[in-house]
Amino acid sequence: MNGRFDPRLADRRWQDRWADERCFEADSTSEKPKTFVLEMFPYPSGRIHVGHVRNYTMGDVIARFRRMQGHEVLHPMGWDAFGMPAENAAMERKVHPGAWTRANIGTMRDQLKRIGFSFDWSRELATCDPAYYGHEQALFVDLFNAGLVYRKESEVNWDPVDMTVLANEQVIDGKGWRSGAPVERRKLNQWFLKITEFADDLLDGLETLDRWPEKVRLMQENWIGKSKGLNFRFALTKPAGGISDVEVFTTRPDTIFGASFVAIAPGHPLALLAAENDPSAASFLEECKAGGTSAAEIETAGKKGHLTGFSVRHPLDPDLQLPIFIANFVLSDYGTGAIFGVPGHDQRDFEFANQYQLPIMRVVAESLEFASEPIGVEAEPAPGIMVNSQFLNGMTSEVASAEILRRAEQAGWGLGSTIYRLRDWGVSRQRYWGTPIPIIHCEKCGAVPVPLDQLPVILPEDVSFDVPGNPLDRHPTWKNVDCPTCGGQAARETDTLDTFVDSSWYFIRFASQPSDRPFDRVEAESWLPVTQYIGGVEHAILHLLYARFWTRALKHMGQIGLTEPFAGLFAQGMVTHETYRAGDGSWLSPGEVRKDGDDWVHIESGHPVAPGRIEKMSKSRRNTIAPEPILEKYGADALRWFMLSDSPAERDLEWSEAGIEGASRFVQRVWRLANSIGSSSGTDAALDRRLNRAVAAVGEAIEGLQFNKAIAQLYELVTAIEKAPASQSRDVAIRALILLVAPMAPHLAEECWDFIGEQGMVVDAAWPSFDPALLIDDQVTLAIQVNGKLRDTLSAPRGLDQAAAEALALSSEKVQRQLSGAAPRKVIVVRDRLVNIVA
RNA sequence: GCCCCUGUGGCGGAAUGGUAGACGCGCUCGACUCAAAAUCGAGUUCUGCAAGGAGUGUCGGUUCGAGUCCGACCAGGGGCACCA
């Protein structure tokens, strides 16, 4: 016996060996089957906490498992290094965002290395490095030249005190989170990427992603929001000037005879026309503008309209005139920015009609008999049988819709159309710490992309944050440049790119990183798509959709032969921990509080502490757990083991000290087994079968990312080996056990492997194989039921036939007692599983 | 409002329509020890001395047999949200 396994020595020892021998550097030219395992790269916010550890441990298990199975594995790590927290830190602590970010990266890299992840550090990248974002700028210029980039006026949340644009989540109760000043809506010229051009393709592609969670595909589907319907025109009868008709979109053409008004968005051309001639219309538009954009404000605002005095003619009933309202609930950027209102069959229209005393007609009913039934207290949106609708009467909603569509297209007043909820991707950020948008604005030539040979446009580091606003705006030598086209005076675009752009192609850069271009097509295609992508479900929509779009855009431009970037996706659960708040409302970290009976107190002051909700570990809630003390006390393997055990990987895991104790105990049990290996002879058939089953089950569980099940299997195997007497089988089982635990507990495995005298390292060893024939036992336990209730279990040889099984079951005393003399009416035998006697 | 997911011991969770509670945590008792730590053994859904009975959110249904399938409901969670 060699005492206890000491992770403080072993962790470091093997981490150094792996690094020295460059075990994890991926070879793009390898002939082996390739696997690309990727965990969503972190934002370098400060320090790694155990929430990160869970994410990377899962990826590491897959990577190490595939490597042992003979794959060439690419498992890289990098930093999503641009973003607002760095600017906030700069303002709060007077450090440069770059210095702050790079210091964090240094800290976090060291932390990750101590946990023994099999990352290929030679491919490490940080998005704030010009060697990365310069290539991103080149890709942006390519997109620009391909017509996938455009500029458009768009509204933003503007903080008038900080003179900065705020993201929606920075607006709290209509006020800036930092300044507290009421937020204004301001129109700015901003850059957009034409993601909507790929809406249909992004939607269709979801069906090919059979290794994505159903949930994520559904969320993306809803986000894209495809609606099929009819686009048609109402002829304007009471108007003036220029505009001759109003175009609307509907998904319910069947209800066309139920229309009692037309409503247009405040931004609609006709609304602007009305405002020109009518001061009350103009003030209504002002009123609409004042309202906030948040969901809560929309909720309370209610439905408001303004009667324009304009009206339109119903396309199928020349005598019917419908009034036009400007309405605050009509969106100018969805559909045509105009609708026809059918109060009887749309709840929103119903409320609006009630408010403005508009007719509410029934055009859909359960059957023709209910044609004159009035609409009750709410609208009836369900499809049904058409009534009060002239030639549509008696048709189902579906048939009626098709009929209207046919007539509209034939007569030329409408056209079937499909619209999407998805909007183009606004990528302009009025921020300093991001990728400069490689555009130069020239009075003569307009917006000109920076020529490729002048890239990268390097973000200047000599800036200060003493004054509010974007420092790029007041950096004269950087901002003022000559126009690349005409040579005249021009100015750089001072907006930077949304950080989601940075993460939309980093996986390609990981696969291939030439210095003179974003990636080498052949090399990138040799690794992509990512075999297994792992990350939080919070990125289910935006990041994953943008990355899918970016990949399609590259394909569209002929740069890569790849449609979907991530073949397999796994959305892992969060690591959670209770939160604590001091009396003044500030958050306290778990290390600052102590449990005193049923209450919590602040250790330093002794003041009571209010325990809050169990939440995702985050810096802002201060409920993070640092890995260092755990590594010090239990070692990397116990930490990794615990992160994988107990909870299924897709579910949240609540952090507990107790759990890690159990993990540590397991590590020591394996070490003791390795120490007990001898050179015994003799076979142990039961143990052989047990091992075979474990090899099969652990492999299958890892493959299915069911780490908790793999771990349960390993516990059972360890118990079985511990109980088995010395034999050659036992030594074989111990050797295999070391390999089986290696993906989860790699340091322990190496140490054991070395101890039992094996040559080479476990990282280079082959995953154990199993004999399918040994998975089957020759003795089985039959469940004996009477009327479906378990009454007895009997051991029997495998393969017992129907009659023999029945006879065996009937011989059971317990069965006989249940039957109390009666003859069974029916007997169901499931071979090698159970006998059910129906009395 | 619309869409989706989940409800199993004290806790985390297992269970191709076929022995519910694997495995872990916690707890109880015991062994070893002067003692402790570590380790090992036994037990641990509820009820009952036992035989037995009950039991997977609730109520129904399908089936020889339901945690698993179907319907309705309740509870919790997530996504979208004035989307025509």
ipTM of the complex: 0.94
Shortest-distance nucleotide from A793 CA to C1': B19
Alpha helices (H) in A233-357, listed in sequence order: 269-277, 279-290, 295-301, 347-355
Three-state secondary-structure class, residue A36: strand
Confidence of residue A597 (pLDDT cuts 50, 70, 90): low
Cα dihedral: A323, A325, A329, A331 (round 10) = 100
Least Cα distance to A643 among A724, A690, A580, A707 occurs for A707
Preceding omega of A529 cis (within 30 degrees of 0): yes
The band of A665, judged by pLDDT with boundaries at 50, 70 and 90, is very high
CA of A651 to C1' of B76 (A): 15
Residue A82 pLDDT exceeds 90: yes
State the helix-helix crossing angle for A746-755 and A728-741, rounded to 10 degrees: 150
Burial class (CB in 10 A: 0-12, 13-18, 19+), A299: exposed
CA-wise closest residue to A550 among A571, A534, A564: A564
Q: Is the pLDDT of residue A564 over 70?
A: yes
Do residues A572 and A649 touch, judged by C-beta distance below 8 A?
Answer: yes
Out of A65-74, A660-669, A817-826, give the one with best mean pLDDT.
A65-74
CA of A716 vs C1' of B34, distance in Å?
37
Q: What Å value separates CA A330 and C1' B79?
A: 23
Rounded-to-integer distance, Cα A448 and Cα A455, Å: 13
Which residues are CB-neighbours of A795 under 8 A, at least 6 positions away? A779, A780, A781, A782
**pTM of this structure:** 0.92
Q: What is the pLDDT of chain A when averaged over all its residues?
A: 90
Half-sphere exposure of A421 (CA within 13 A, CB side): 10
Whether residue A294 is predicted with pLDDT greater than 50 in this model: the reply is no
Burial class (CB in 10 A: 0-12, 13-18, 19+), A602: middle
Place of tokens 């142990």: A684
CB A105 within 8 A of CB A151: no
Backbone angles phi, psi at A634, to 5 degrees: -115, -20
Asked whether the beta carbons of A23 and A763 are under 8 A apart, the reply is yes
Cα distance between residue A426 and residue A332, in whole Å = 17
**C1'-nearest nucleotide to the CA of A329:** B82
Asked if residue A269 has a cis previous peptide bond (ω within 30° of 0), the answer is no
Greatest mean pLDDT range, A26-35, A183-192, A279-288: A26-35
Give the separation between CA A520 and CA A142, rounded to whole angstroms. 16
pLDDT at A30 over 90: yes
Percent of chain A with pLDDT over 90: 59
pLDDT value of residue A2:
57
> Does the pLDDT of residue A347 top 50, yes or no?
yes
Phi, psi of A615 (to 5 degrees): -130, 170
Q: What token pair was written down for A13?
A: 């020892």
pLDDT for position A172: 65
A787 CA – B18 C1', rounded, Å:
12
Q: Which residue is nearest to nucleotide B26 (CA to C1')?
A: A658
pLDDT over 80 at A170, yes or no: no
Nucleotides of B under 7 A from a protein CB: 3-5, 12-16, 18-20, 22-26, 38-41, 52, 64-66, 78-84
The mean pLDDT value for A515-526 works out to 97
Is the pLDDT reported for residue A241 higher than 90? no
Q: Decide if pLDDT at A99 tops 90.
A: yes
* Of the ranges A132-146, A238-252, A358-372, A563-577, the best mean pLDDT one: A132-146
Pick from A287-291, A435-439, A791-795: least confident: A287-291
Query: Which pLDDT band holds residue A240 (cuts at 50, 70, 90)?
Result: low
A209/A223 Cα distance (integer angstroms): 17
**With 90 as the cut, is the pLDDT of residue A711 above it?**
yes
Per-residue pLDDT, averaged over A543-562, amounts to 96
Strands A834-838 and A779-786: parallel
Least confident residue range of A35-49, A346-360, A483-497, A738-752: A346-360
Of A145, A40, A79, A75, the C-alpha closest to A557 is: A145
> How many Å separate Cα A626 from the centre of its chain?
25
Write the CB contacts of A249 (distance below 8 Å, at least 6 apart in sequence). A229, A230, A231, A335, A336, A338, A339, A417, A419
- pLDDT recorded at residue A678: 82
Token pair for A24:
């994890």
Lowest mean pLDDT among A76-90, A518-532, A613-627, A671-685: A613-627
Close Cβ partners of A286 (under 8 Å, ≥ 6 residues apart): none
Residues 6+ apart with CB under 8 A from A367: A384, A385
Which residues, in sequence order, are bridge partners of residue A38? Answer: A533
- Gap from A700 CA to B9 C1', in Å? 28
Which pLDDT score is estimated for A608?
80
Smallest CA–C1' separation from A334: which nucleotide?
B83
The whole-number average pLDDT for the span A417-421 is 91
